[in-house]
């Protein structure tokens, strides 16, 4: 069931970890690291699942997600939101913005893989 994942993340260690986890499972993983151009990257790459960091240079993941949910082309795109901040308020804000899943860093490899698989099959 592997497909295409777009990972919007700016931390090199997180990028490499997620790319490795998903690639090993057969997923094609594209990476983008700039908040201001993230929405355009989603449109260009047309992923099956988006993994989106909250804190990005130039624009927050919450703002990016709000734009994606307001667009008919991307309103139903499955989104796993990642953040180093795991407070209830952060989780609530992500869910209000339209995230399908929310995960805090550090994360367990198997949790990321399971979330992406679940989102792709939903």
pTM of the predicted model over 0.75: yes
Q: Is 104 domain-assigned?
A: yes
Q: Is 1 domain-assigned?
A: no
The answer to whether 75 and 68 have CB atoms below 8 angstroms apart is yes
Angle between helical axes of 61-70 and 38-45 (0-180°, round to 10): 50
Domain CATH number, residue 42: 3.40.50.2300
Domain that holds residue 97: 9-121
pLDDT tens, N- to C-terminus, the chain (122 residues): 579 999 999 999 999 999 999 999 999 999 999 999 999 999 999 999 999 999 999 999 999 999 999 999 999 999 999 988 777 888 888 888 899 999 998 899 999 999 999 999 98
Q: Is 4 domain-assigned?
A: no
Q: Number of structural domains, the chain? A: 1
């Amino acid at each position: 069931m592997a497909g295409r994942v777009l990972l919007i993340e700016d931390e090199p260690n997180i990028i490499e970890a997620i790319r490795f986890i998903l690639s090993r499972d057969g997923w094609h993983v594209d990476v983008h690291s700039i908040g201001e151009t993230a929405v355009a990257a989603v449109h260009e790459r047309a992923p099956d699942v988006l993994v989106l960091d909250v804190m990005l240079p130039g624009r927050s993941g919450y703002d990016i997600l709000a734009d994606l949910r307001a667009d008919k082309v991307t309103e139903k795109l499955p989104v796993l939101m990642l953040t180093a901040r795991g407070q209830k308020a952060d989780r609530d804000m992500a869910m209000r913005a339209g995230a399908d899943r929310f995960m805090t860093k550090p994360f367990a490899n198997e949790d990321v893989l399971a979330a992406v698989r679940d989102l792709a099959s939903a």
